[in-house]
Amino acid sequence: MTKDEMSKIMNILFVAYPQSFKGWTKGQFSTASNLWLEMFKKIPYEIVMMAVKKELAENRTGFAPSIGQITYRVKELITVYDAATAWEDVAYMVRYIDIEDVGRHLKNGDRITQQIYSIRDIQRLKNTPGSLESERPRFYAKYNSLKDKAEQEAVESGDLLSISDSLHLSALGVGKKVLMEIDMKGSAEDVQNR
């Protein structure tokens, strides 16, 4: 994201929440804009703008959103991970997939489920009557914890493809080329900072 793009976002917030910025000096506004730019520099402008618009549409407080609130909206927009969908896939494996094919099915599943279960775990669930119902709350807790961690790391590093996919990001208007450019820019900055 460029400084001009962040300026557009900050101006939208200024117009939408005039009371939050009442009495601010130009220097304070510039400092806030620079902080927001630093926090979102590796995220494509289109995604941050969508997150801001979503927050504007749903914000009931009347106060300007924080960086944390917009970060949450960014994660909400881009993530393809969903505990309920992942659990349905686990239940399907336990009920219908032969144990010889579970490894391939796990490999083709989402990365978070792969961190939670091995072939041995799925076999244990297959061999224990009633285990799916008792396992579900543990799975949801573990899955959501790992999902939150993965999302936070992805947003901080700008590696959105680690929690999304190019099809999903394309639907949001962000192409793989833009993400690669951001990744390359981040790598160049890392080299300069050494």
Of 66, 56, 60, nearest to 32 (Cα)? 66
pTM of the prediction? 0.74
Find tokens 């941050």 and name the residue. 48
What's the alpha-carbon Rg for the chain, to the nearest Å? 21
**Single-letter amino acid, residue 18:** P
Burial, 140: exposed, middle or buried (Cβ in 10 Å; 0-12, 13-18, 19+)? middle
Residue 193 is predicted with a pLDDT of 42
Per residue in 14-71, pLDDT (tens digit) is: 999 999 999 999 999 999 999 999 999 888 899 999 999 999 999 888 899 999 999 9
Helix 67-78 vs helix 26-40: angle between axes, to the nearest 10 degrees?
Answer: 30
Asked if residue 145 has pLDDT above 90, the reply is yes
Task: DSSP for 18-54, please give it.
Answer: GGGGTT--HHHHHHHHHHHHHHHTTS-HHHHHHHHHH
